[in-house]
Structure formats: structure tokens, C-alpha cells
């Protein structure tokens, strides 16, 4: 997927004026937040689970090489193959090679954010393959020719009316707007595709080192059909998705469903180990796992390691006021919201995604709901620091900071300037009591009045008064 | 030390830069509350700003310089107290992090962090005060500022103190824990997004039917008040300290200047 993060400001502006988008966002946000809160309230050990999960993730990351080797050994033992991809291009090439070798024509896909990250769909289509997204949300945006705007609800930016229009155009009339009818229509359209598929590609919520299994959760069962009915199953996953045991995976599963969709558990949790065995009733002939690095080992070695704890639940974006205001497309790449504002600059470049770490109020709500306790605001601030030290921060802003430092580290000068500013503003606002336009403060007065200060600062008054007494 | 001053804590008042310039009344209210609670109050001249503008913009070096200035100005006191969850969260959490590579300064930063308090939490959690004896006639709603709430766990303290104010009724708004869109320089760097957030906040404020909005951070209050005035919406906006001290009598924030001193 092409990077558009440098267009953040213009995309955000467009999003704020898009009434359908605003309607869709309002509805989605209220649903996600309320459902999660209800689940958390019912599980008294939720906080303890978060702490345990964060610690377990840190342990895994500390020994990631070891767990990945164990995982590879177990996959091989089960008759599968592990492929290591350093970056997106390598991952695409590995998957295209498998598709070519098995003479694939049709590829079905379960939802996989890593496949978006490596730009897989475009590459498959360019190679002449027919690609069918089977997750309802992914199916909708495939019809619309758009990118996902949310990591667990890719079409969350669409209203029901817009989906009805897309389905009418794709499936023919009559136009239906009931959700159950829309789900049925998608199911009808997709059912046959599963059987035609030569290759089924899914993500992997967790990779189990002890058994060599991949584990996925879905609410539609589409992932199961994708991976069971195709001749070849390919799992795409980031290297950080490995967990030691199936038992460990259950800890994350309890947190994932509650944090993501506000369910106790997702409808389908499917573990898949190797290709079809002799006595299996169904399953693929080949089983491949493409482990994608794409900047992750760099993150592992540096100050952003905590980001690799992420289990992709989307709670941070569901609770982010900025995401709630502008939606996911404004962020300009695969991962939006707080987690995306950390990942995108780290994977694609601090300069190309300059706005993402900065377009955040540091309100901390994301970190307070993160099931693996990623200190997202701290990481965003560290990215700002990295941008500053690499001189990516705009020159004007760096100049302003330098000037601020000169003044703020000299209390006499700072206080004198505040006294001058107080007098000027007080005079400007004397007539009306409010300031509608202030030179140099356009960003503020664009939509707000500036309170008129008293003509004398607190320090001035205080010391004057105390000296009197 | 005289007999009468023994046991009375010496408190250095942290004068936030916004308060100093835009709303001295909050400083006087804070001073009144602390002195009535028996503190010996000092306002050090050597202070300017907590350093957050630098820290949040990635300029850690400048933030460190400001942090050192605050440490030097305040470490002699029993406590540092200020009427802002944002500045105080920075002093308590960010300062020790800023000196991770300088053990001597880190120890001083940690020592200062341990005795630095946001006003309402100092009154309730440290001094054990539950009433301030003031009166305020009105139905108020309270906005939880993010830094105070999530950085310092300030939620019950201002409400507990407000419950003791005669004539005041508190009516909670929906999403009181959601950001108002101020975010320091965020509000001027991304003004359109910031305005969307503050309009959402105002919708929740208005839905309560309250006539007054209170909060513990002047940044947030200027953001909401500034937007209310621009939209010509009638609503009084005060810092919680002004109400607790009985000094919420003049024009509210954004309704015109208060007479100085």
C-alpha cells in the first residue's frame, strides 16, 4: 500500500468535512467504547491480566530469536514451511513464488494487516491472480477500491447506506439496507469463491512455538474457510506474533476479544497446524508461514521495543479522540490511530510520516486501555525527540523552541516579556473584553477567542502586594 | 523557626505560565487555599515554566534546562504545589526520565517529584482537607483534564472538595474523561482537529444543563472558554481553585479582564 502519511493535514481536513464519515465514526466509537467498558467491568482480574500480558510479551521479546527457532522447528515437524522475509518486497516475492509454483489462479484472503503492510493485493493482481477478500469489512472496501481505515473493522468508515449502494452495484438489485440482508448477500457472493481458491492467505493472531500452529480469531468464520478449503494455505505474520505455548495464547485471547470488539471471546478461534494429514477430513495440501520482519528487529533493538507487544486489538484507536475525529484514512497508511502513529514512522520513515507522532494531544487514553500496556504517548514523544534530533522538525518550529529556551531560562527576561505581553493584550482587548484576532496567534484565534488578560501578571501583583504588607 | 510556624509546611507555589499571564486570580485563589490550610507560602522568583513545550516537541535538552531551573528554585521547600495537573504531571513523571543519564540530577529530580503536588490532591491527599468553606451559587459540571486524571490519578479530590461548597450542585457530563483538544501546542498546530474535539466537549457540557464549567487546568479551560465565546454560548468557566477559594466572583474565563491584584 502506498504511503500517504505526508498528506495527513489535508486528509484530516477533508475527513472533518465528510458528513457520512463523521456519522460512521460517531456510531462506531460509541459502540466500541461502551462494549469494551461493559466487558472490563465484568472481569475483576482484567487489570491483572493486562499486567501479566505485558510481562509475558516482554519476556517473549527478550528471547524472540529463541522462540522463533522453536516455532520454525515445530512447523517443519508438522510438515509445514517457514519463510523469512526481511522486508515487504521479499515477502511479496516469496508469496508470488509459491502461487506461481502451484499454478494458482484464484487467491482467497482472510483479514491480514500484514498483507496490507507488504502491499500483497496489488502484487497478486499485477501477477494476474484473482484476489477475493473474504472478511466482510475487507470485502466491502475491496468493492469500493479503498484501503482499510481500522485494523479490526476495515470498513468502519462506511455507513450502512454506502454499503447498500456498493452491494447493489456489485450484486444487482434490489437494494437492501438491513444489516442481516447485507451479511447474507456477502455470504452468497463469497461462498463459491472458497471452493475455487488455489491459495488461501490468512494472517496469524498468534504463532505457537510449542506446536508450530497458527491461531486466528474471526467473527464470520471466513478465515476457517479460507485456510481449510484452498489447496495451499499461506500465513502472513510479523515476527513478534510468536508465543511460547497454547496456554500462553489463552491469556492474550481473553484480553484481545474484550479490548477489540467488547466480546468475551470472538465467535471463531481456529488453530491450524501444518498441511492436511492422512486421516484428516479436510485441510490444505501445503502449509506455509511467511514471517515478516520489515523493521521489527530494528524496533526490537532500540527504544521502541514496547511497540512490539501490540496484539492488534484496535482499542487505542477506538479510544483516541483524534482518530474519532478524522478516521483512519487520514493517517495515510495501513496502521492508523495511536499504534499506527508509532509504527508508520518506524517502518516507513520519521520524515515521511512527520505529522503522525505530532498530531496527538498526549491525553493518554490509548495507553490506559491498551491490553498489553504499551506506553503509547511516551513512544510518540520519543519519536518527536528523534525527529527533533534528526532536524526533521520544521526549521520554524526549531527556531521558536530555541527562542523560547533563551527566554524561559532567564526568569527576569521571561517575566519582563510576560508583563509586556499582558499590557499589549489587555489594551487590545480593553474595549470588547475578548480578543478575536491576535497577531502571531492565528492557530488559536482561527476558531476561539483569546481571553483578555489583566494588565498585570500574577507575579507582578503578588510581589507588589507582599512588599506592601 | 518560631513556635507558631513549627509544623506548618513551607510550600513553594508553582506559578504556571498561562496562569501568570492570563488568569492571576487562579494564583491568588491557590495562595488563599494554601495559606488558610496553614501553609507558609513562598513564590520563588526563579521560576518560568515547567518545560513541557520543549519536552512535548522533542527538544529534551531545553526541557532539561527548564527542569534544572525548577529543581533549583523549589528543592528547598517542603512541598511544591501548583494549580495544574499538566505541569505537575510533568514535574512528577517527566523530570526523573529527563535525567536518566545523569544520576546526581536524577536523584534531585526524584526528590522534587516526591514532594510535588497538584493543588486539589495536595489539599485532600496530603493535608486531609475536605471543606474549604466557600460558597458558589450554580450548577456546575467538571472536566477531568487528561494529565491530572491519567498522570496523577486526580478524579475524586476536586469533587470531594466541591461537595463541600454551599450552593453548588455538580452534574457530571458524558465523556468527562475525554480530551478537550487543547494538548499544548497541538491546539495551534492542528487547529481544525482541536476545534472538532472542543466542539464535542462543549456538546457534552451543554447537555448537562449546567451553567458553569470547572476544571483544574487553565489550558483546557482557555480552550473551552475561547470556543464558547467564539460561538457566543453563555457558560461560565472557572478554575476549580477560584470556586474553592470563594474567588469566583468576577468575570469568568474569557468574559473580560479581571481587575489586577
Q: Hey, which bits of A105-145 come out as E strands?
A: 106-109, 130-133
A362 and B146 in contact by Cβ < 8 A?
yes
Cell numbers representing residue A333 in the block:
497508511
In three-state secondary structure terms, A317 is helix
**Under 8 Å between Cβ of A22 and A155:** no
Q: Is the pLDDT of residue B109 over 60?
A: yes
C-alpha cell at B51: 518545560
Residue extent(s) of CATH 3.40.50.10420 domains in chain A = 5-297
The CATH number corresponding to A5-297 among 3.40.30.10, 3.10.450.50, 3.40.50.10420, 1.10.3210.10 equals: 3.40.50.10420
Which residue in chain B is spatially nearest to A455 when comparing CA positions? B260
Classify residue A449 by its DSSP letter.
P
Q: Cβ B21–A453 below 8 Å, yes or no?
A: yes
How far apart (Å, rounded) are the C-alpha atoms in residues A226 and A221? 9
Using one digit for the tens of pLDDT, what is the confidence trace for A195-219?
A: 999 999 999 999 999 999 999 999 9
Could you tell me how many helices (H) and strands (E) chain A has, helices first?
23, 12
Q: What are the pLDDT digits (tens) for A239-281?
A: 999 999 999 999 999 999 999 999 999 999 999 999 999 999 9
Instruction: Indicate if the pLDDT at residue B2 is higher than 80.
Output: no
Average pLDDT over residues A339-358: 97
Q: Which residue in this structure is represented by grid cell 480578543? A: A435
- A134 DSSP 8-state letter: -
Contact residues for B242 (Cβ-Cβ < 8 A; gap 6+): B25, B26, B29, B248
Q: How far is residue B191 CA from its own chain's centroid?
A: 23
Residues on chain B touching A34 (C-beta within 8 angstroms): none
Strand partners, A423: none
Q: Over the stretch A361-377, which tens digit does the pLDDT of each residue have? A: 999 999 999 999 999 99
Name all contacts of B91-100 with Cβ < 8 Å and 24+ positions apart. Answer: B91/B14, B91/B50, B91/B67, B91/B116, B92/B116, B92/B151, B92/B152, B93/B151, B94/B51, B94/B52, B94/B55, B94/B63, B94/B67, B95/B67, B95/B70, B95/B71, B98/B55, B98/B60, B98/B63, B98/B64, B98/B67, B99/B64, B99/B67
Sign (positive/negative) of CA torsion A430, A432, A437, A441? positive
Q: Which residues of B touch A14 (CB under 8 A)?
A: none
pLDDT in tens, A328-347: 999 999 999 999 999 999 99
Q: Which CATH architecture group holds B131-244? A: 3-Layer(aba) Sandwich (3.40)
Alpha-carbon gap, residue B154 to B164, rounded angstroms: 17
Q: Using CA atoms, how far apart are residues A35 and A45, in angstroms rounded to an integer?
A: 17
| Chain centroid offset of residue A195 CA | 31
Share of chain A above pLDDT 70, in %: 100
Q: Nearest CA to CA, how far is B23 from chain A (Å)?
A: 6
Contact with chain A for residue B15, Cβ under 8 A: yes
Residue of A383, A384, A408, A418 to mutate, interface with B, max B Cβ within 10 Å: A408
Q: What is the mean pLDDT of residues A62-85?
A: 98
**Positive or negative: CA dihedral B245, B247, B248, B254:** negative
Q: How many residues does chain B have?
A: 261
B71 — contact with chain A (CB < 8 Å)? no
Partner residue opposite A459 with nearest CB, options B20, B23, B191: B20
**Of A203, A201, A225, A233, the residue nearest A215 (C-alpha):** A203
pLDDT at residue A433 in the model: 74
User: What pLDDT shows up at residue B6?
Assistant: 65
Interface subset of B 154-183, CB within 8 angstroms of A:
177-179, 181-183
How does pLDDT run across B68-106, given as a tens digit for each residue?
999 999 999 999 999 999 999 999 999 999 999 999 999
Q: What would the pLDDT profile of A387-442 be if each residue is shown by its tens digit?
A: 999 999 999 999 999 999 999 999 999 999 999 999 999 988 877 778 898 888 89
pTM (two decimals): 0.96
Minimum distance, in Å, between the CA of residue A242 and any CA atom of chain B:
31
How distant is the Cα of A391 from the closest Cα of chain B, in angstroms?
A: 11
Q: Which residues in chain B touch residue A409, judged by CB atoms under 8 angstroms apart?
A: 48, 65-66, 69
* pLDDT for A344: 98
- pLDDT band at residue A358, thresholds of 50, 70 and 90? very high
Interface test with B, best of A362, A383, A440, A460 (most B CBs within 10 A): A362
Hey, is the C-beta of B111 within 8 angstroms of any chain A C-beta?
A: no
pLDDT the model gives residue A431: 75
Q: Using 50, 70 and 90 to split pLDDT, how confident is the model at B258?
A: low
pLDDT of residue B255: 86
Q: Testing the interface with A: which of B57, B66, B177, B247 to mutate, by most A Cβ within 10 A? A: B57
Q: What is the ipTM of this complex?
A: 0.95
Q: Three-state DSSP class for A28?
A: helix
Is 90 exceeded by the pLDDT of residue B1? no
Domain boundaries, given as residue ranges, for chain B: 10-124, 131-244
Query: How far is the C-alpha of A377 from the C-alpha of A388, rounded, in Å?
Result: 16
Tell me the chain B residues in contact with residue A362 when contact means C-beta distances shorter than 8 Å. 56, 146-147, 183-184, 186
Instruction: Inspect the interface and report whether the beta carbons of A454 and B255 lie closer than 8 Å.
Output: no
Per-residue model confidence (pLDDT) at position B5: 60
Q: How many residues does chain A have?
A: 469
Specify the pLDDT at position A387: 98
Residue A379 C-alpha cell reads as: 513512544
C-alpha distances (whole Å) from B57 to each of A60, B51, B185, B242 are 32, 10, 8, 31
Amino acid at each position: 500500500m502506498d504511503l500517504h502519511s505526508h498528506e495527513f493535514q489535508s486528509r484530516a481536513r477533508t475527513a472533518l468535512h465528510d458528513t457520512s464519515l463523521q456519522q460512521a465514526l460517531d456510531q462506531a466509537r460509541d459502540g466500541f467504547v461502551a462494549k469494551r467498558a461493559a466487558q472490563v467491568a465484568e472481569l475483576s482480574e482484567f487489570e491483572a491480566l493486562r499486567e501479566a500480558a505485558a510481562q509475558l510479551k516482554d519476556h517473549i521479546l527478550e528471547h524472540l530469536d529463541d522462540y522463533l527457532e522453536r516455532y520454525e522447528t515445530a512447523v517443519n515437524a508438522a510438515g509445514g514451511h517457514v519463510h523469512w522475509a526481511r522486508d515487504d518486497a521479499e515477502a511479496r516475492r516469496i508469496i508470488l513464488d509459491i502461487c506461481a509454483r502451484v499454478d494458482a489462479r484464484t487467491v482467497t484472503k482472510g483479514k491480514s494487516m500484514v498483507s496490507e503492510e507488504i502491499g500483497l493485493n496489488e502484487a497478486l493482481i499485477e501477477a494476474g491472480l484473482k484476489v477475493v477478500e473474504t472478511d466482510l469489512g475487507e470485502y466491502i472496501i475491496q468493492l469500493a477500491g479503498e484501503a482499510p481505515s481500522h485494523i479490526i473493522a476495515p470498513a468502519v468508515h462506511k455507513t450502512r447506506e454506502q454499503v447498500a449502494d456498493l452491494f447493489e452495484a456489485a450484486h444487482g438489485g434490489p437494494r437492501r439496507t438491513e444489516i442481516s440482508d447485507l451479511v447474507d448477500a456477502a455470504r452468497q457472493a463469497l461462498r463459491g469463491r472458497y471452493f475455487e481458491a488455489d491459495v488461501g492467505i490468512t494472517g496469524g493472531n498468534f504463532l505457537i512455538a510449542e506446536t508450530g500452529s497458527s491461531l486466528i480469531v474471526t467473527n464470520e468464520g471466513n478465515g476457517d474457510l479460507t485456510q481449510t478449503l484452498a489447496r495451499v494455505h499461506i500465513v502472513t505474520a510479523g515476527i513478534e506474533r510468536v508465543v511460547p505455548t497454547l496456554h500462553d495464547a489463552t491469556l492474550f485471547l481473553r484480553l484481545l476479544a474484550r479490548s477489540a470488539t467488547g466480546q468475551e471471546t470472538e465467535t471463531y478461534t481456529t488453530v491450524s497446524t501444518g498441511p492436511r494429514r492422512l486421516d484428516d477430513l479436510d485441510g490444505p495440501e501445503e502449509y506455509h508461514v511467511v514471517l515478516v520482519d520489515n523493521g521489527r528487529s530494528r524496533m526490537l533493538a532500540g527504544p521502541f521495543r514496547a511497540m512490539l507487544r501490540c496484539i492488534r486489538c484496535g482499542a487505542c484507536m477506538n479510544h483516541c479522540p483524534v482518530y474519532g475525529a478524522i478516521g483512519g484514512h487520514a493517517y495515510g497508511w495501513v496502521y492508523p490511530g495511536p499504534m499506527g502513529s508509532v509504527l508508520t514512522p518506524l517502518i516507513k520513515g520519521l520524515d515521511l510520516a512527520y505529522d503522525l507522532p505530532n498530531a496527538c494531544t498526549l491525553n493518554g487514553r490509548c495507553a490506559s486501555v491498551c491490553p498489553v500496556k504499551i506506553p503509547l504517548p511516551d513512544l510518540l514523544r520519543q519519536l518527536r525527540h528523534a525527529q527533533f534530533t534528526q532536524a526533521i522538525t520544521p526549521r520554524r518550529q526549531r527556531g521558536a523552541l530555541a527562542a523560547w529556551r533563551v527566554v524561559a531560562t532567564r526568569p527576569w527576561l521571561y517575566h519582563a516579556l510576560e508583563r509586556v505581553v499582558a499590557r499589549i493584550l489587555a489594551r487590545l482587548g480593553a474595549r470588547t473584553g475578548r480578543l478575536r484576532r491576535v497577531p502571531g496567534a492565528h492557530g488559536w484565534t482561527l476558531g476561539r477567542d483569546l481571553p483578555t488578560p489583566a494588565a498585570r501578571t500574577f507575579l507582578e501583583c503578588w510581589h507588589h502586594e507582599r512588599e506592601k504588607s | 523557626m518560631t513556635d507558631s510556624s513549627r509544623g506548618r509546611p513551607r510550600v513553594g507555589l508553582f506559578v504556571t505560565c498561562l496562569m501568570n499571564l492570563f488568569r492571576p486570580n487562579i494564583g491568588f485563589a491557590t495562595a488563599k487555599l494554601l495559606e488558610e490550610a496553614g501553609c507558609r507560602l513562598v513564590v520563588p522568583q526563579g521560576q518560568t515554566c515547567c518545560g513541557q513545550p520543549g519536552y512535548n516537541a522533542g527538544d529534551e535538552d531545553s526541557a532539561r534546562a527548564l527542569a534544572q531551573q525548577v529543581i533549583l528554585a523549589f528543592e528547598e521547600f517542603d512541598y511544591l504545589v501548583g494549580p495544574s495537573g499538566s505541569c505537575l504531571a510533568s514535574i512528577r513523571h517527566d523530570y526523573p526520565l529527563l535525567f536518566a543519564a545523569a544520576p546526581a540530577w536524577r536523584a534531585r529530580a526524584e526528590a522534587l517529584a516526591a514532594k510535588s503536588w497538584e493543588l486539589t490532591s495536595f489539599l485532600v491527599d496530603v493535608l486531609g482537607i475536605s471543606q474549604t468553606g466557600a460558597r458558589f451559587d450554580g450548577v456546575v459540571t467538571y472536566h477531568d483534564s487528561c494529565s491530572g486524571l491519567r498522570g496523577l490519578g486526580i478524579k475524586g479530590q476536586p469533587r470531594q472538595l466541591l461537595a463541600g461548597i454551599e450552593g453548588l450542585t455538580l452534574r457530571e457530563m458524558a465523556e468527562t474523561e475525554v480530551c478537550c483538544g487543547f494538548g499544548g501546542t497541538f491546539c495551534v498546530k492542528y487547529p481544525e482537529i482541536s476545534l472538532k474535539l472542543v466542539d464535542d466537549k462543549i456538546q457534552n457540557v451543554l447537555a448537562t444543563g449546567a451553567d458553569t464549567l470547572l476544571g483544574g487546568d487553565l489550558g483546557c479551560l482557555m480552550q473551552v472558554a475561547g470556543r464558547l465565546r467564539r460561538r457566543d454560548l453563555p457558560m461560565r468557566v472557572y478554575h476549580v481553585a477560584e470556586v474553592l477559594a470563594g474567588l469566583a466572583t468576577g468575570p469568568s474565563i474569557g468574559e473580560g479582564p479581571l481587575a489586577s491584584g
